[in-house]
Structure 1
Amino acid sequence: MRKVFIIVLVAMGSFGVQAQGLKWETDINKAISVSNKTKKPMLLFFTGSDWCGWCIRLQKEVLKTPEFLAWAKKNVVLVELDYPRRTPQSDAIKAQNNGLQQAFGIQGFPTIYFATAKIKEGKPSFTGIGSTGYVAGGPTAWLAVADGILKTK
């Protein structure tokens, strides 16, 4: 009985952690809709999640920290634009992400671009705010750079 109780507590705790996690959109049209509704800019995270060492490091040191979680909920709509080598993706997501990579002129990973957008004639029209990538110094240093970019909007 005691083991069952412990298992239930662990399971409930893991659901709580997941519930507190951030929602990363992968569909740009949905992200634009949320961005316009909430009046928050989008944080577009261009990443190679399963092969890019700096992307993985940025995730670990910044994007998965409590400091970033609190900041992101208040300031941005999160959009992950992934270019994996081993993880399968739908053709629609691949096409969307490749188009966005070209539209923003992304040449290296990780790149984080802050932008707003409107849908005009069925296509997104973006207004860039600024960009960054990996910043040494953990979440405090990275968030200082991000706040500086967002102040210019």
Structure 2
Amino acid sequence: MKKFCILLLLVFGVQFAQSQELVWHTNVKEAIKISEKKKKPMLLFFTGSDWCGWCIRLQKEVLKTDTFAKWAKENVVLVELDYPRAIEQTPELKAQNSNLQMAFSIQGFPTIHFANAVKAADGKVNFQGLGSTGYVAGGPEAWLAVATKILDKKKR
């Protein structure tokens, strides 16, 4: 009986841990559909995941915390736009990320833009920028205060 209870705890523990994991979309078209369906803005994370020290620090101190995960699930659709140096990407993903880097005038990493997708009459997608930020010292609470302020402006 004791072994059965331990096994049961393990199974439910793994399922709970998996349900807490965040989904970072890399395909912007898919993220736009989800954003429209859930009526949530996108958080577009422009990063150099394998070389940018500030990006790695932002991930560790904020984006991979339980506090951020809870906030993100309630407020945004997550999109990672990566510009790695040593990790291979498909030509389509490189082109998508390059186009978005130009569209949002990204000058440095990490940069996070909050945006809604707005479909134009011709079927093309435009982005309604809500605001942007980057690394904010002080851990998840300080970063989320900035992010929440950006999203709250949208609601007014």
In the superposition, the TM-score normalised over structure 2's length comes to 0.88
State the distance in 2 between where 1:13 and 1:54 align. Answer: 32
1:148 corresponding residue in structure 2? 149
SS in structure 2 of the partner of residue 46 of structure 1: strand
2:113 corresponding residue in structure 1? 113
**Aligned residues of 1:112 and 1:132 also touching (Cα < 8 A):** yes
State the distance in 2 between where 1:84 and 1:12 align. Answer: 36
Q: Within the alignment, does 1:129 sit opposite 2:130 as a pair?
A: yes
Name the aligned partner's letter for residue 141 of structure 1.
A
Identity score, percent: 65
Q: Where do 1:14-25 residues align within 5 Å?
A: 14=14, 16-25=16-25
2:46 corresponding residue in structure 1? 46
SS in structure 1 of the partner of residue 40 of structure 2: coil
How many positions carry a matched residue from both structures? 151
Q: CA shift at 1:17, angstroms?
A: 2.1
- State the Cα deviation string for residues 88-136 of structure 1 (Å, max 9, x = none): 1111000000000000000100000000003444532100000000000
Q: CA shift at 1:20, angstroms?
A: 1.4
**Aligned residues of 1:29 and 1:124 also touching (Cα < 8 A):** no
Q: CA shift at 1:14, angstroms?
A: 4.8
1:3 corresponding residue in structure 2? none
State the distance in 2 between where 1:9 and 1:151 align. Answer: 40
In the superposition, the TM-score normalised over structure 1's length comes to 0.90
Q: CA shift at 1:152, angstroms?
A: 1.1
Gaps of 5+ in 1: 1-5
State the distance in 1 between where 2:143 and 2:134 align. Answer: 9
State the distance in 1 between where 2:151 and 2:140 align. Answer: 16
SS in structure 1 of the partner of residue 97 of structure 2: helix
Q: CA shift at 1:146, angstroms?
A: 0.3
State the distance in 2 between where 1:87 and 1:12 align. Answer: 34
SS in structure 1 of the partner of residue 108 of structure 2: coil
Gaps of 5+ in 2: 1-5
- State the Cα deviation string for residues 43-71 of structure 1 (Å, max 9, x = none): 00000001100000000000000110000
Structure 1 runs (4+) greater than 4 angstroms displaced: 6-15
- State the Cα deviation string for residues 66-89 of structure 1 (Å, max 9, x = none): 110000000000000000011111
1:78 corresponding residue in structure 2? 78
State the distance in 2 between where 1:21 and 1:51 align. Answer: 24
Name the aligned partner's letter for residue 144 of structure 1.
A
SS in structure 1 of the partner of residue 79 of structure 2: strand
